[in-house]
């Protein structure tokens, strides 16, 4: 029920209500202006349900039914995820992206899952920039160099602090995730499924930081273009936030959903950008290795031709096709396991940068889907049942699962249950 307007202390029901309501309204208004989308995913009616305190857990999630937030205790204090505008706007971002590109929800690739998490963090950053006070603060903190560490780049500082009390390596030193980072693209199949916050892993929240870091740098580059030889202004920063979000949404609309999804979105975003912004957009992706040098040159030289390929490879089905794996390999009580993935190659021929020189060869869809499934098993993210045999026997336990195996005749299909914040720190 709505709480009456007034001044309330953190930790109270009324404070949680108005903090979340303001953040959701601000974020929804922003994305409605940029996307023009009027409907949520089909399983959600006109209004997006939001539960501000669904129980004890350092978590928050979107699950195609609505948004849920939780609370947990650490260091003698109680922390509510729904009190954080960053987390609220992050989860809202999952719902927005699901409305405009539902294929990504069940897609069985690390990079599509990581992009969903990155979009949530980009949603938090862009929604924050709609506040005049935030624009003033970040310009004062960074002196116009937006890619520096700041109150804008540091996402969910309070919840990061709470988790750090018991698990200091699970989050970054001053927040949950920091968009001001130097993480460089790697083929996720070469990364471990989990790692300390100081390192990169294929776990989607960890790997998301590569794209989010590039996006923050792009915002800074575009702001420098807008300011020219002058000092960046609050009005210019507001305009840049809207223009960059527009480029991002246009890219999502055309990028083919393939294993190397980051480079597809990056290329499409370069194509969508105005000539004056194109170098700034390209530079952000090159500096974080999402586009190799040759891919960046191709995107700059032949934007129209590459955009045509992107549109031609756009698949508007609600889910990707299905790739099959042998169920027995994973101890499944099923002949086949089906994962939603692109059966054939698609999109433009671009890829991320290799560490030494040249570019990374994008993996085949079948191998990328297998890598994704095995990561889920190793992280304990798949619901077990009578039909799944020993599928989770050797996996680490994770209290809240993101996927489940659904029975289909003599086979099983991997489907996503939710996108959650992934605070797998035993802080319940």
Domain-embedded: residue 118: yes
Domain-embedded: residue 30: yes
List % helix, strand, coil for the chain (3-state, nearest 5).
45, 10, 45
Domain-embedded: residue 263: yes
Domain-embedded: residue 28: yes
**Can you tell me the mean pLDDT for 288-302?**
90
**Can you tell me the mean pLDDT for 25-30?**
98
Domain-embedded: residue 243: yes
Q: What is the pLDDT of residues 103-153, one digit of tens each?
A: 999 999 999 999 999 999 999 999 999 999 999 999 999 999 999 999 999
Q: Which residue has the tokens 């797998």?
A: 424
Coil, strand or helix: which one is 297? helix
Q: What is the pLDDT of residues 332-357, one digit of tens each?
A: 888 899 999 987 667 788 888 887 77
pLDDT at 92: 98
- 3 burial level (CB within 10 Å; 0-12, 13-18, 19+): middle
pLDDT tops 80 at residue 358: no
pLDDT tops 70 at residue 417: yes
Q: What is the pLDDT of residues 176-227, one digit of tens each?
A: 999 999 999 999 999 999 999 999 999 999 999 999 999 999 999 999 999 9
Domain-embedded: residue 342: no
Domain-embedded: residue 403: no
C-beta of residue 59 within 8 angstroms of C-beta of residue 22: no
pLDDT tops 90 at residue 75: no
pLDDT tops 50 at residue 427: no
For the chain, what is the domain count?
A: 1
Per-residue confidence band for 390, with pLDDT thresholds at 50, 70 and 90: low
Distance of alpha carbon 414 from alpha carbon 107, whole angstroms: 10
Coil, strand or helix: which one is 282? helix
- Name the residue range of residue 67's domain: 13-312
Domain-embedded: residue 228: yes
């Amino acid at each position: 029920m709505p709480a009456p307007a007034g001044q309330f202390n953190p930790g109270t029901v009324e404070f949680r209500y108005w903090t979340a309501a303001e953040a959701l309204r601000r974020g929804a208004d922003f994305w409605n202006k940029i996307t023009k989308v009027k409907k949520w995913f089909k399983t959600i009616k006109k209004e997006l349900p939001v539960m501000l305190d669904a129980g004890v857990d350092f978590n928050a999630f979107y699950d195609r039914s609505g948004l849920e937030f939780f609370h947990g205790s650490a260091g003698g204090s109680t922390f509510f995820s729904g009190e954080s505008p960053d987390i609220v706007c992050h989860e809202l971002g999952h719902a927005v992206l699901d409305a405009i590109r539902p294929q990504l929800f069940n897609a069985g690739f690390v990079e599509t899952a990581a992009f969903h998490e990155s979009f949530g963090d980009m949603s938090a950053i862009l929604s924050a920039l709609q506040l005049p006070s935030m624009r003033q603060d970040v310009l004062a903190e960074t002196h116009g160099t937006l890619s520096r560490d700041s109150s804008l780049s540091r996402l969910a500082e309070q919840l990061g602090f709470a988790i750090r009390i018991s698990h200091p390596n699970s989050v970054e030193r001053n927040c949950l995730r920091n968009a001001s980072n130097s993480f460089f693209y790697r083929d996720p199949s070469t990364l471990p499924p989990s790692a300390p916050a100081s390192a990169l892993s294929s776990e989607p929240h960890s790997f998301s930081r590569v794209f989010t870091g590039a996006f923050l740098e792009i915002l800074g580059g575009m702001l420098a273009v807008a300011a020219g030889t002058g000092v960046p202004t609050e009005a210019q920063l507001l305009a840049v936030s809207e223009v960059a979000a527009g480029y991002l949404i246009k890219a999502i609309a055309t990028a083919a959903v393939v294993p190397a999804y980051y480079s597809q979105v990056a290329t499409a975003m370069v194509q969508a950008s105005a000539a004056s912004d194109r170098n700034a957009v390209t530079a952000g992706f090159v500096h974080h290795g999402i586009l190799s040098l040759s891919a960046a040159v191709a995107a700059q030289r032949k934007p129209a031709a590459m955009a045509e390929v992107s549109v031609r490879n756009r698949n508007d089905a609600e889910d990707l096709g299905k790739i099959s794996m042998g169920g027995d390999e994973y101890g499944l009580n099923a002949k086949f396991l089906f994962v939603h993935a692109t059966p054939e190659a698609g999109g433009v021929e671009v890829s991320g940068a290799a560490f030494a020189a040249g570019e990374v060869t994008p993996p085949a869809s079948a191998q990328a889907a297998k890598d994704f499934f095995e990561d889920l098993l190793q992280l304990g993210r798949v619901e077990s049942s009578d039909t799944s045999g020993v599928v989770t026997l050797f996996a680490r336990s994770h209290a809240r699962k993101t996927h489940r195996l659904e029975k289909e005749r003599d086979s099983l299909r991997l489907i996503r249950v939710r996108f959650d914040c992934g605070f797998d720190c035993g802080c319940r």
